[in-house]
Structure 1
Amino acid sequence: MSWLVLIVAGVFEAVWATALGRSEGFTRLGPTVVFAVALVISMAGLGYAMRELPVGTSYAVWVAVGASLTVAYAMATGTEPVSLARVLLILGIVGCVVGLKVVP
Protein backbone atom coordinates (compact mmCIF):
# COMPACT_ATOMS: atom_id res chain seq x y z
CA MET A 1 0.00 0.00 0.00
CA SER A 2 2.86 2.38 0.80
CA TRP A 3 4.24 2.04 -2.72
CA LEU A 4 0.89 2.95 -4.25
CA VAL A 5 0.53 5.96 -1.96
CA LEU A 6 4.08 7.02 -2.84
CA ILE A 7 3.37 6.87 -6.58
CA VAL A 8 0.15 8.88 -6.14
CA ALA A 9 2.08 11.41 -4.03
CA GLY A 10 4.58 11.68 -6.89
CA VAL A 11 1.74 12.37 -9.31
CA PHE A 12 0.55 15.18 -7.06
CA GLU A 13 4.11 16.51 -7.01
CA ALA A 14 3.86 16.90 -10.78
CA VAL A 15 0.51 18.68 -10.32
CA TRP A 16 1.86 21.18 -7.81
CA ALA A 17 5.03 21.79 -9.83
CA THR A 18 3.01 22.53 -12.96
CA ALA A 19 0.55 24.71 -11.03
CA LEU A 20 3.44 26.59 -9.46
CA GLY A 21 4.75 27.47 -12.89
CA ARG A 22 1.33 28.64 -14.00
CA SER A 23 0.66 30.69 -10.86
CA GLU A 24 2.99 33.45 -12.11
CA GLY A 25 4.52 34.05 -8.70
CA PHE A 26 1.26 33.30 -6.87
CA THR A 27 -0.53 36.15 -8.63
CA ARG A 28 -3.13 33.89 -10.30
CA LEU A 29 -5.68 32.47 -7.87
CA GLY A 30 -6.67 29.25 -9.65
CA PRO A 31 -3.19 27.80 -10.13
CA THR A 32 -2.18 29.01 -6.67
CA VAL A 33 -5.05 27.08 -5.06
CA VAL A 34 -4.25 23.97 -7.12
CA PHE A 35 -0.60 24.31 -6.07
CA ALA A 36 -1.46 24.53 -2.36
CA VAL A 37 -3.91 21.61 -2.37
CA ALA A 38 -1.65 19.37 -4.45
CA LEU A 39 1.34 20.25 -2.28
CA VAL A 40 -0.45 19.20 0.90
CA ILE A 41 -1.67 15.94 -0.65
CA SER A 42 1.77 15.19 -2.08
CA MET A 43 3.60 15.81 1.20
CA ALA A 44 1.04 13.85 3.21
CA GLY A 45 1.41 10.90 0.85
CA LEU A 46 5.20 11.06 1.04
CA GLY A 47 5.05 11.18 4.82
CA TYR A 48 2.66 8.23 4.94
CA ALA A 49 4.86 6.14 2.64
CA MET A 50 7.96 6.92 4.70
CA ARG A 51 6.40 5.18 7.68
CA GLU A 52 7.12 1.83 5.99
CA LEU A 53 9.63 2.55 3.22
CA PRO A 54 13.21 3.77 3.61
CA VAL A 55 13.57 7.55 3.53
CA GLY A 56 16.13 7.62 0.71
CA THR A 57 14.16 5.28 -1.52
CA SER A 58 10.89 7.07 -0.81
CA TYR A 59 12.31 10.47 -1.61
CA ALA A 60 14.06 9.27 -4.77
CA VAL A 61 10.90 7.62 -6.08
CA TRP A 62 8.73 10.62 -5.19
CA VAL A 63 11.05 13.05 -6.94
CA ALA A 64 11.52 10.80 -9.97
CA VAL A 65 7.80 10.28 -10.49
CA GLY A 66 7.06 13.97 -10.06
CA ALA A 67 9.91 15.17 -12.25
CA SER A 68 9.23 12.65 -15.00
CA LEU A 69 5.54 13.45 -15.17
CA THR A 70 6.16 17.19 -15.01
CA VAL A 71 8.54 17.06 -17.97
CA ALA A 72 6.34 14.62 -19.89
CA TYR A 73 3.31 16.87 -19.41
CA ALA A 74 5.29 19.93 -20.47
CA MET A 75 6.45 18.15 -23.62
CA ALA A 76 2.92 16.87 -24.36
CA THR A 77 1.47 20.37 -24.09
CA GLY A 78 4.24 21.98 -26.13
CA THR A 79 5.69 23.98 -23.24
CA GLU A 80 9.02 22.17 -23.60
CA PRO A 81 10.61 20.75 -26.73
CA VAL A 82 10.40 17.02 -27.47
CA SER A 83 13.47 15.12 -28.58
CA LEU A 84 14.53 11.51 -28.62
CA ALA A 85 17.30 12.26 -26.14
CA ARG A 86 14.88 13.88 -23.67
CA VAL A 87 12.44 10.98 -23.92
CA LEU A 88 15.22 8.44 -23.39
CA LEU A 89 16.53 10.34 -20.38
CA ILE A 90 13.07 10.42 -18.80
CA LEU A 91 12.72 6.68 -19.46
CA GLY A 92 16.08 6.25 -17.73
CA ILE A 93 14.71 7.97 -14.64
CA VAL A 94 11.66 5.70 -14.71
CA GLY A 95 13.91 2.66 -15.14
CA CYS A 96 15.94 3.64 -12.10
CA VAL A 97 12.76 3.99 -10.02
CA VAL A 98 11.63 0.53 -11.10
CA GLY A 99 15.09 -0.71 -10.12
CA LEU A 100 14.65 0.68 -6.61
CA LYS A 101 11.46 -1.35 -6.29
CA VAL A 102 12.83 -4.66 -7.55
CA VAL A 103 16.29 -4.61 -5.94
CA PRO A 104 16.24 -5.65 -2.28
Structure 2
Amino acid sequence: MYWFILVVAGLFEAGWLVGIQKSNSFTNIPYVIFAVASMALSLILFSIALKEIPIGHAYLVWLAVGALSISTINHYFFNQPLTSYQLLCFCLIFIGVVGLKIST
Protein backbone atom coordinates (compact mmCIF):
# COMPACT_ATOMS: atom_id res chain seq x y z
CA MET A 1 0.00 0.00 0.00
CA TYR A 2 2.81 2.45 0.86
CA TRP A 3 4.50 1.81 -2.48
CA PHE A 4 1.25 2.65 -4.27
CA ILE A 5 0.97 5.87 -2.24
CA LEU A 6 4.55 6.71 -3.21
CA VAL A 7 3.81 6.21 -6.91
CA VAL A 8 0.74 8.46 -6.65
CA ALA A 9 2.91 11.07 -4.89
CA GLY A 10 5.29 10.92 -7.86
CA LEU A 11 2.38 11.45 -10.25
CA PHE A 12 1.31 14.54 -8.31
CA GLU A 13 4.89 15.77 -8.55
CA ALA A 14 4.51 15.71 -12.33
CA GLY A 15 1.18 17.51 -11.89
CA TRP A 16 2.71 20.48 -10.14
CA LEU A 17 5.41 20.73 -12.79
CA VAL A 18 2.75 20.88 -15.51
CA GLY A 19 0.85 23.46 -13.46
CA ILE A 20 3.91 25.67 -13.17
CA GLN A 21 4.67 25.29 -16.87
CA LYS A 22 1.11 26.22 -17.89
CA SER A 23 0.78 29.07 -15.36
CA ASN A 24 2.82 31.46 -17.55
CA SER A 25 5.05 32.72 -14.74
CA PHE A 26 2.22 32.48 -12.19
CA THR A 27 -0.16 34.72 -14.15
CA ASN A 28 -2.75 32.04 -15.00
CA ILE A 29 -4.33 31.56 -11.56
CA PRO A 30 -6.18 28.24 -12.17
CA TYR A 31 -2.88 26.59 -13.11
CA VAL A 32 -1.16 28.16 -10.11
CA ILE A 33 -3.85 26.69 -7.85
CA PHE A 34 -3.46 23.32 -9.59
CA ALA A 35 0.32 23.46 -9.13
CA VAL A 36 0.11 24.33 -5.42
CA ALA A 37 -2.54 21.66 -4.75
CA SER A 38 -0.51 19.03 -6.63
CA MET A 39 2.64 20.02 -4.75
CA ALA A 40 0.89 19.77 -1.39
CA LEU A 41 -0.65 16.39 -2.21
CA SER A 42 2.68 15.10 -3.49
CA LEU A 43 4.48 16.06 -0.28
CA ILE A 44 1.69 14.76 1.98
CA LEU A 45 1.59 11.39 0.21
CA PHE A 46 5.38 11.23 0.16
CA SER A 47 5.48 11.76 3.93
CA ILE A 48 2.88 9.01 4.44
CA ALA A 49 4.96 6.60 2.34
CA LEU A 50 7.99 7.33 4.53
CA LYS A 51 6.29 5.49 7.40
CA GLU A 52 7.21 2.16 5.82
CA ILE A 53 9.72 2.84 3.04
CA PRO A 54 13.33 3.87 3.73
CA ILE A 55 13.85 7.52 2.81
CA GLY A 56 16.64 6.82 0.32
CA HIS A 57 14.49 4.36 -1.62
CA ALA A 58 11.39 6.53 -1.34
CA TYR A 59 13.13 9.65 -2.62
CA LEU A 60 14.63 7.86 -5.63
CA VAL A 61 11.29 6.29 -6.55
CA TRP A 62 9.43 9.58 -6.05
CA LEU A 63 11.85 11.38 -8.37
CA ALA A 64 11.85 8.55 -10.91
CA VAL A 65 8.06 8.40 -11.13
CA GLY A 66 7.90 12.18 -11.42
CA ALA A 67 10.54 12.26 -14.16
CA LEU A 68 8.95 9.45 -16.13
CA SER A 69 5.50 11.03 -15.78
CA ILE A 70 6.52 14.54 -16.80
CA SER A 71 8.44 13.23 -19.81
CA THR A 72 5.44 11.18 -20.91
CA ILE A 73 3.06 14.12 -20.41
CA ASN A 74 5.37 16.46 -22.32
CA HIS A 75 5.67 13.97 -25.17
CA TYR A 76 1.95 13.33 -25.61
CA PHE A 77 0.47 16.73 -24.72
CA PHE A 78 3.21 19.26 -25.51
CA ASN A 79 4.84 17.56 -28.55
CA GLN A 80 8.30 17.19 -27.05
CA PRO A 81 10.18 14.35 -28.72
CA LEU A 82 11.47 11.25 -26.95
CA THR A 83 14.48 9.57 -28.52
CA SER A 84 15.24 5.86 -28.45
CA TYR A 85 18.15 6.57 -26.12
CA GLN A 86 15.89 8.46 -23.70
CA LEU A 87 13.40 5.58 -23.74
CA LEU A 88 16.23 3.14 -22.99
CA CYS A 89 17.31 5.28 -20.03
CA PHE A 90 13.72 5.42 -18.75
CA CYS A 91 13.56 1.63 -18.95
CA LEU A 92 16.74 1.45 -16.88
CA ILE A 93 15.18 3.80 -14.30
CA PHE A 94 12.08 1.58 -14.21
CA ILE A 95 14.24 -1.51 -13.69
CA GLY A 96 16.01 0.28 -10.83
CA VAL A 97 12.68 1.18 -9.20
CA VAL A 98 11.50 -2.42 -9.46
CA GLY A 99 14.81 -3.55 -8.00
CA LEU A 100 14.35 -1.21 -5.01
CA LYS A 101 10.84 -2.56 -4.46
CA ILE A 102 12.05 -6.15 -4.57
CA SER A 103 14.92 -5.42 -2.18
CA THR A 104 12.65 -3.95 0.52
> Does residue 1:37 correspond to 2:37, yes or no?
yes
Measured in 2, the distance between the counterparts of 1:95 and 1:64 equals 11
Deviation at 1:83, TM superposition (A): 1.5
DSSP 3-state at the match of 1:13: helix
Deviations 1:19-66 (CA, angstroms, capped at 9, x unpaired): 111112211111111101111100000000001110111111001001
Percent identity of paired positions between Structure 1 and Structure 2: 32
User: Aligned partner of 1:56: which letter?
Assistant: G
> Does residue 1:66 correspond to 2:103, yes or no?
no
Measured in 2, the distance between the counterparts of 1:35 and 1:77 equals 17
Deviation at 1:91, TM superposition (A): 1.6
Measured in 2, the distance between the counterparts of 1:29 and 1:8 equals 24
**Structure 1 equivalent of residue 82 of structure 2:** 82
**Structure 1 equivalent of residue 4 of structure 2:** 4
User: Given the two structures, how large is their TM-score scaled by the length of structure 1?
Assistant: 0.93
* Matched residues, number: 104
DSSP 3-state at the match of 1:17: helix
Higher mean alpha-carbon deviation, 43-52 vs 80-89, is at 80-89
4+ residue segments displaced more than 4 Å: none
Deviations 1:64-86 (CA, angstroms, capped at 9, x unpaired): 00111101111112442121111
Q: 1:62 to 1:90 in 2, by over 3 A?
A: same
